[in-house]
Amino acid sequence: MSYWKTEILPKIKKYFDKPSKKKAAAEACKSFDESKESIERELGEKKEELQPKVEEVYKPLDKDTKAIVKQPTDAAIKKHAGPVKKVLEELTKIGFPGAAPASEAAAKFGPALALGPITYVFLKVSTFITEDVEEAAPPAAEAKTEETTPPPPPAEPAETTATTTVVEETKTEEGVVEKVENVEETKTDDGKSAVTAQVTEAVETPQPEPSKA
């Protein structure tokens, strides 16, 4: 008889309770959906009053819980059932509209069976949050260093030198004056030219004619 009470009966009770639990959770979620209109209206009326209270509840939360409140997903709510229940309890304390029935459903049936009300409440809470959820910063891109080769120095312009010699003879009483003028013209590739003139004068004295014997 004791074996029946301790082993068999609990299993049978658990088997029959499971469908009824899901059914009760579904009814609770349906009832919550029907009250959304009044929740929306209450949120609009208490917006200024709720803003600082929501911030007080949100700021002490850890990073993962903040992410769930800001962007709730079914998988995250199921995985972090404990913190989710705690947040709902705190929201109920500050009188956040819809938090009380959602918290009650989560405590009674578990967050996994009360996803609708929990998600709805968290999405409404996120509209009161001004603090952004910290995201992991992307790894800094490695700076690319490129080796640059300095440009070669500009080539010196080639020089072309042309020399012109001008010889001019002039007869004077003193003799013949020979004037030699060397003109050098240097041209570079850039079109510039330089002219240098060197003048040399030489006087040739005529020799006296020999006397006749």
Between strands 193-204 and 159-172, the pairing is: unpaired
Query: Is residue 199 pLDDT above 60, yes or no?
Result: no
CATH of 159-203, one of 4.10.1250, 2.10.70, 3.40.50, 1.10.3470: 2.10.70
Give residue-wise pLDDT tens across range 4-62. 556 665 665 665 555 688 999 999 999 999 999 999 999 999 999 999 999 999 999 99
Tell me 126's DSSP state. Answer: H
Q: What is the Cα–Cα distance from 170 to 27, expressed in whole angstroms?
A: 136
- As given in the structure block, the two tokens for residue 50 are 């709720």
Report CA Rg, the chain. Answer: 53
CA distances from residue 128 to 36, 116, 120, 176 in whole angstroms, order as listed: 18, 20, 14, 117
| Residue position matching structure tokens 């996120």 | 126
pLDDT at residue 174, as a whole number: 56
Least confident segment among 95-99, 116-120, 195-199:
195-199
Instruction: Tell me what pLDDT residue 20 has.
Output: 82
Give the pLDDT confidence of 134-185 residue by residue, as tens digits.
443 444 444 444 556 666 666 655 555 555 655 555 555 555 555 555 556 6
Per the model's pLDDT, the better-predicted residue between 211 and 104 turns out to be 104
Alpha helices in 94-181 (DSSP H): 99-109, 115-126
The string of DSSP letters for 50-84 reads HHHHHHHHHTTS-HHHHHHHHS--HHHHHHTHHHH
Residue 3: strand, helix, or coil: helix
pLDDT at 194: 57
More confident: 157 or 107: 107
Residue 136 pLDDT: 38
Listed in sequence order, the residues at least 6 apart from 121 whose beta carbon sits closer than 8 Å to its beta carbon are: 88, 91, 96, 98, 99, 102
Top pLDDT among 176 and 75 is at 75
- The residues spanned by each domain of the chain are 2-126, 159-203
What pTM, to 2 d.p., does this model score? 0.55
**Which pLDDT value is given to residue 133?**
47
**Rounded (to 5) percent helix, strand, coil in the chain:** 50, 20, 30
Distance in angstroms between the alpha carbons of the first and the last residue of the chain: 186
